[in-house]
Amino acid sequence: MREDRSRLLFQIAQVLAGVALGVLLTLVTVRIMDNRKVINAKYGAWRKLNLILEEVGKNYVDTLKVKEMTDAAVVAALRELDPHTVYMPPVQLEESETELAGNFEGIGIQFNVPNDTAIVLEVIPGGPSEKVGLQPGDRLLKVDTTVIAGVKFPQDSMVRRMKGPSGTKVTITVKRERETIPFEITRGKIPVHSIDAHFMIDDTTGFIRLSKFSRNTYKEFHEAGKDLLDQGMKRLVFDLRDNTGGYFDQSLLLCNEFLSKGDTIVYMEGLHRPKESYRADGRGSLRDVALTVLINENSASSSEIFAGAVQDNDRGLLVGRRSFGKGLVQEPVYFSDGSGLRITVARFHTPSGRCIQKPYSSDYEYDIYKRYATGEVFSADSVKVDSTDLHHTVGGRPVYGGGGIVPDIIVPLDTTAKVTPFYSACNRKATQMRFASAMFDRYRKELLSIDNYPALDAFLGRIDIKRQFLSFALSKDGLRPEGDEWERTEEYLMPQLKALTARYSKLGDNAFYKYYLPVDETVTKALTAQ
């Protein structure tokens, strides 16, 4: 059986490789010396491509690089299909699968690089780094013997050097205050969390931010929802902005938490896939919780399935900007060399019949940039819908197809006077992030001891962030607000400074999002919308 499969895979590779040659004649003609050989070939069953490869293999003047030709040919062939049917070499496939698998092998830290030196933001509880004593705020100087600080070392290369098979060792050298400390860490399995934050905004309103639909998403979401229900949640703001999707079944399970028995969640259909509908079973634990879903132009795939199900069933309110528009059912094919395919086999449709997938076009991959260029992300009036593709929710509200999910309330990007030249200059130099790092250095022990919001509020109020930031911006970056710039910027900038500093406390990302929400226009609109 394995031998037959290997032979089949090799034949497929041979078939696809022919496409790169670009030969599109009805007959294949090969001239050898003065003899002409004519081979009958047809397009129907890919036989022609096999014949081309056979002739090239038997007659080409030099040694063929079969692997490179095959990979190039596969990529070229799939380019003629939709943009999401792709071939992935072994390394790319492994990275893609690891991102969604729910765990990976490594040392268990999250870090940021505000100023050419990586700073640990979080040490994952129970992971290898926590066990040896790494702490938030540690500066990463070296991985084994490779210097990664102060040399503009690529962040993705840092990650690759730290990752590795469980049981292998790596030495991470860090700077902590005035000390340089080497830590020998034995790599292990690290859980990957898909929920960035969950907390109560007020006495009755919960907030959950989901970054991806990974293998563990439903389990994490269920636990977060239960925690918020125990705290008195009656309404949930569910943030799916910048969530590019993931596992389809996890999206179904999350939809099921909110919908009534028999409600359609989504259906799929393709040339070789008959229509298949998915419905809620009515046993979800959040069916009585009011729901507001946040989406934007980077919300895609499983995020759009969730948003479409909520909107078409009139189950909640969608707030934000039009979603990406990726609604394709993709099936994986794996090869023995570690590579694989993602093949589009059907399209997803919302309960009302809208196709989530946006139309393919010559500038498909630049669609998001086009939305900025045409002003769609800056003005609700610039959002284009296909008025000829009209559908209706279960309650009779009109909704339109044409690709992506258009929210019920559109919140354009904020371009008000808050974004002053001083604020823009700080953003360019990452002044806010570097300031937060400096605050951690100054108040390290106090921040690391804070595990509740009253204590954090008191700390942030006591250290006079405004005065310290203005001093830091001037001394480190030569920046100072002119005229009324600070008055125009303060309302927008101060919550960011508090959020970035609060992230270094034991409350982590929960604290970041909680303090950042006051300047999040989409959240503000969601909280005031009925």
CA distance 62 to 52: 16
Residue 471 CA, chain-centre distance (Å), reads 36
Are the C-beta atoms of 373 and 382 separated by less than 8 Å? no
Residue 70 has which token pair?
Answer: 């095959």
Rama region for 520: left / alpha / beta (φ>0; ψ in -120 to 50; rest): beta
Are the C-beta atoms of 190 and 157 separated by less than 8 Å? no
Rounded (5°) CA angle 189-194-197: 120
- Sheet with 290-295, strands from edge to edge, namely 195-200, 205-210, 235-239, 290-295, 317-320, 409-410
Interhelix angle 465-477/431-442, nearest 10 degrees: 120
Residue 230 has which token pair?
Answer: 């125990």
CA distance 284 to 299: 24
**For tokens 């071939």, what's the residue?**
87
CA distance 89 to 105: 20
Residue 48 has which token pair?
Answer: 């022609």
Strand-pairing partners, residue 173, are: 142, 182
CA distance 399 to 393: 7
129: phi then psi, degrees, rounded to nearest 5: -70, -40
Residue 158 has which token pair?
Answer: 């840092």
Strand-pairing partners, residue 443, are: none
Residue 12 has which token pair?
Answer: 């497929």
Rounded (5°) CA angle 186-189-190: 105
Query: Can you point out the beta strands (E) in 396-526?
Result: 398-400, 409-410
Residue 342 has which token pair?
Answer: 């993602």
- Dihedral Cα 434, 436, 439, 445, nearest 10 deg: -120
DSSP letter (8 states) at residue 150: S
Residue 390 has which token pair?
Answer: 């009209």
Length of the chain: 530
Q: Could you give the residue numbers annotated as active site? A: 301, 312, 326
Q: Which of 219, 128, 136 is nearest to 174 (CA)?
A: 136
Interhelix angle 453-462/508-516, nearest 10 degrees: 60
Q: Strand, helix or coil at 274? A: strand
